[in-house]
Chains A and B, each alone.
Chain A
Amino acid sequence: MKEIKKFNSAFRNMNIKIKNRQVVGFAFIICTLAFSTMLTSCNNWLDVRPETEQKEEDQFSTEKGFEMALTGCYLQMASQSGYGLQMTMTSVENLADLWRINPNTTRLGERDLALHDYTTDNAKSTVKGIYTNLFKTIAQASLIIKNAKANPEVFTENRMYNIILGEAYAIRAYCQLDVLRLFGQMPNNPQKLVSLPYSEATSIDEIPAYYDFNEYTAKLQSDIETAEALLEDSDPATQYPYNRTYATGEVYEKNSFLMYRQMRLNYWAVRALHARMALYTGDKEAAQSIARELIAATLPDGTAVRALSGKKDYISGYMTCPNECYFSISKYDVKEYTVNYFTDNKDNVVSSYGVNQYAISMNMLADLFDGENIASHNRYANLWNQRLKDGEGTLWCGFCRYCYDDDVPNPNLYYQLIPMLRTSEMYLIAMETSTDLTEINQLYTEYMDSHNVALPTPFSSLEEVSTWIENEYRREFYGEGQMFYTYKRLSETNILWAKTQADENTYIIPLPETEYDPATVKK
């Protein structure tokens, strides 16, 4: 008690000593200081975000941010409404009528795409999902392009700038090419002309403008060439073999972001994309020269960049042909979700065939390999599980490209991926664009060898070649989403297994109803 009283009186005595003037002076200084510091830093102080979010300018203020944004682009591409599923295995393949669809399926959008009835709500929403995802990827690539150009000083070395910027251009081109292939007019002898958006949008004020076929192709070509120029000297894939950028023993590349070049749009992949685009848009000469260049391409140490490796791969059970991919999408969970679409049983054990699963009938398998030597054909033997049973006991063929055993080594390098551009396509391009039968037959022999078919009967005419190539696209790229574009490029009226004849309306997918051309909206 006493202490408290003492304390209180001491407290009072002490405080009385403070002179008013001193207090005023002190408070004034404090206030001035407080106000001046706060006023100047107000705007910064207000700039806060939750930790898991970043504003655009912060995201691109570091090289790491660029890397993550680029990875984000690939993740967007790899989503199931993109190349992770719909753009490779289901929707786009259904457009080419590659799958037998159970009449009781609940995937009505996919069914309607296979019937080429694009007017139903289900079809529209499926198409809208694909379309939106493509443009989500494109927008993110455009944002990288804009920000890299604006802040080149962020990058630690010029090489990183070139690679990240080059890949962003390549991603945009890859997706825009498929927008053209899906929604655009017929590349040859079009009756119906279609203008399409080529998106370079980086904000809500840049709604993509529409371009006619030639303008669009020019933009595509420009993006691809820009990417090639940026990557040519900087990409480690032009220096070392793909496998050296990740090999466990001898690591050539110290920057972990520059490893696994085959999972990214590297220089060779962009060249291959260029060949694909040239062929689609009718520039056969360019397609021919690039395809030949890639087939013959070697690295400084003399090794081939890529070679047909189907033979070796299929023996090892690599049904995604990982060793001939210039570019593939890495998808660590590909098996988990494709099980819902394809049987997961690659061993020839009888397994059941569900209502929503995609397969082909035994007759379709026979059609598919009609005229081929199936005795040793490794695609025939490995890609198709012929012991799939439905509820009534009928046998079907299940698709096995994305199946693998749980205990395989290095699944992320050889199994958990989706091929996007590979050497086989370059061979087919080279053969299709050539007029020299000898040359074609030489390529054909090499090509068939990788399919474990020795000494195939040589072609005797160019017509024979083109018929075979069309069929081979179907056999080779099953579940990789290339067949519909092949039919479209060739203006094929008879789609194999389709219920109706194909025409321009079959090949030109209507744009989503939520899409509009800003030029026509603005009054």
Chain B
Amino acid sequence: MSTQDCSDKSLKVAVASLEEAASVAREMKRPGALEQFVNWSRKHSLWPIPFGTACCAIEFMGMVGSSLDLSRFGAEFVRFSPRQCDLMIVAGTIVNKMAPVLRKIYLQMAEPKWVISMGACACSGGMFNTYSVLQGIDRIIPVDYYVPGCPPRPEAVLYAILELQKRISEESSVLSSKERHREAWVRGLKARGRTPKSIILHGKGEDSL
């Protein structure tokens, strides 16, 4: 494979596999046709798993209901099985007792997977800075979009899902969520003019995701 000028939109390169397509695309800094197709099909069939614990779950149900109707955006089935879903929406306060459950469900989801943290409690513990509340789910799982609000309007969560769809269409489709988050972290560091010496996703110093 040779590196081509990325302004040449009609470039066609023969590739043997999706992985090769991804590596060509990365060199050219845009997704190729095959990846675009995969991204398009993924973003329009995001099946959510609502990890709803508290008040935000009711607003999530409002989004799924008939006035906003999430299923028009492809999220047709709100299935509660992590094996069948690719978007986890954590809606509600996660307390320390529930945290291992949340992590287990996240790990059981198959790649590719995305997480939307809905509501102040999931983003940061919300107004509950107490002995039993997890101060933000990003302490235990990586989050793609944070939706603030207490509870956020259903339209706000819908906006997050639409933004996620835009991002899916732009990014590479063969990366696992671990690699994707690592790449985003590296990009962020470089944008601030720092070089990544070691990748620490969470304060534990252990890159276990």
Q: Is the A/B pair a real complex? A: no
> Which positions in B face A, CB cutoff 8 Å?
none
